[in-house]
Amino acid sequence: MNRHYNRNYTWEQIAMVLATIQDCIRENRFIISKNENRRENVDFINEYNLSNRRQKEILQKINPEDFCHSLFNFDGIE
């Protein structure tokens, strides 16, 4: 497994974080990063012609079983 991946979470921890994220989405307190480091987000949105409403719908359907890993943030330190 990639050394940048972190899978050390319980299902309950994932569910709690996801609930918080989805609360923010419902309250329009979120952004989808579209900067040069997140080109895949822009490409996905454009490829499927996703409106803001549809982006929110997709994010609201994510459940804990969809989680596979987070990334450790090394801030460019290798």
pLDDT tens sequence for the chain (78 residues): 567 677 778 889 989 999 999 999 999 999 999 988 889 999 999 999 999 999 999 999 999 999 886 766 655 544
User: In this predicted structure, what is the pLDDT of residue 70?
Assistant: 74
pTM: 0.74
Which structure tokens are listed for 46? Answer: 């454009």
3-state DSSP call for residue 5? Answer: strand
Tell me which residue of 58, 64, 7 sits closest to 32, measured CA to CA.
Answer: 58
User: What pLDDT is attached to residue 68?
Assistant: 81
Which residue spans within the chain are E strands per DSSP?
5-6, 70-71
Query: Structural domain boundaries of the chain?
Result: 5-69
